[in-house]
Amino acid sequence: MVDPTSLISDETQEEETIDDLVSAYVSLRDALSKTRKKFKEYELRCKDDMGKLESRLLKLSRKLGVNSFKTDHGTAFKVDKDYARVAGPEGWEKLVRYMVEKNDFGLVEKRVAKLHFKEVMAEELEKLAKEEGGLSPIEMGVEYVVEEAIQVRRS
């Protein structure tokens, strides 16, 4: 097997084969995957430990009646974290009804649900093919792009 790093330059190597390129790609992807997995495990341990320390600091701040601690190593301070989530399936129905009644769609993020869009487009393209008034993606206000790429699967 050829060293993957020797194949990374933009210059074509005289002896390189497609097998060498795919092998190098798989090798690099495997190394990345192992490193990512180790980092994720490390990250989870650190975040868990940091959460325990945060909890102790919050408990101390409440006990002492202060909002912050300034030290030589840094300042710990209380903040309010807030979240807005749809409260289950019935919550989504209520939210949609509210948005329609108030004509206020600013309560949700603007993005297209790709899988559902592809289902809708299949129906619209079928209508277009039959000349039954189907819409193109642009007529629906959606830019749909398909890019050609290479993926490598292990053999």
pLDDT digits (tens, 9 = 90+) for 13-37: 677 889 988 998 999 999 999 999 9
d(CA 141, CA 43): 40
Q: How confident is the model at residue 1 (pLDDT cuts 50, 70, 90)?
A: low
Average pLDDT for 101-124 = 90
d(CA 4, CA 31): 11
State pTM to two decimals: 0.62
Q: How confident is the model at residue 63 (pLDDT cuts 50, 70, 90)?
A: very high
Helix (H) or strand (E) holding 69: strand 68-71
155 or 102, greater pLDDT: 102
Domain boundaries, the chain: 4-76, 83-109, 113-144
Place of tokens 């497609």: 18
Residue % of the chain over a pLDDT of 70? 95
For residue 147, pLDDT beyond 80 = yes
